[in-house]
Amino acid sequence: MYRFRQFFCALTARVGDGEEWALAELLTPPQRAVFRRMAPNDQRHSLNVCVTLRQAGYEDPALLKAALLHDAGKAAGRIWLWQRTLIVLFRRWAPRLLRWLERGASCEEAPWWRIGFVINRLHPELGASWAAQAGCSSTTVALIRRHQEPVQVIKSEQDRLLAALQWADGVN
């Protein structure tokens, strides 16, 4: 049921005019430009992740910026809704098939129907690079780069922040 709701929300996603406060409060103009590259459903998701963290008591600026920008790399190209659906399903039930679809060093090497899968694999690194270019802190950049890496054991403050980001990302 959760995934059906998520699918419907992706179709109807938008960022309201009243939500600009979160962006203006947390992101510099170059960082807001990175945020605005994202598709509306990714913007909506990122704002939801940020709000979830704040409601849970997290106020670390590096974490909140990472929440807003963690999926920015998906703007490198189009990830069709059918691909997003398959990514979610295959990540759970067919991870080897997903790795096969995501293979390739760049989008230029992939056939058109696999480009979205390749972008999905590359988006943490792409987003981290764009965040660094936009002046984000090394902590924010690292959180974006690592946001899909499982945290097995929390060994540092960065790991603690990463676990929080992954939790909020998982519920939104």
Dump pLDDT digits (tens) for 20-73. Answer: 777 889 999 999 999 999 999 899 999 999 999 999 999 999 999 999 999 999
Quickly count: other Cβ atoms within 10 Å of residue 4's Cβ.
8
CA-CA-CA-CA torsion sign (32, 120, 139, 59): positive
Dump pLDDT digits (tens) for 106-139. Answer: 888 889 999 999 999 999 999 999 999 999 999 9
Domain covering 19-170: architecture:
Orthogonal Bundle (1.10)
Q: How far apart are CA 11 and CA 19, in angstroms?
A: 19
DSSP state for residue 57 in the 8-state scheme: T
Q: How far apart are CA 158 and CA 63, in angstroms?
A: 9
In the predicted structure, residue 12 carries a pLDDT above the cut 60? no
Q: Residue 107 in contact with residue 118, Cβ under 8 Å? A: yes
Q: Where are the domains of the chain?
A: 19-170
Dump pLDDT digits (tens) for 146-157. Answer: 999 999 999 999
Quickly count: other Cβ atoms within 10 Å of residue 91's Cβ.
14
| Angle, helix 138-146 to helix 115-133, in steps of 10 degrees | 170
Choose among 68, 84, 73, 81: nearest CA to 169. 68
Quickly count: other Cβ atoms within 10 Å of residue 171's Cβ.
11
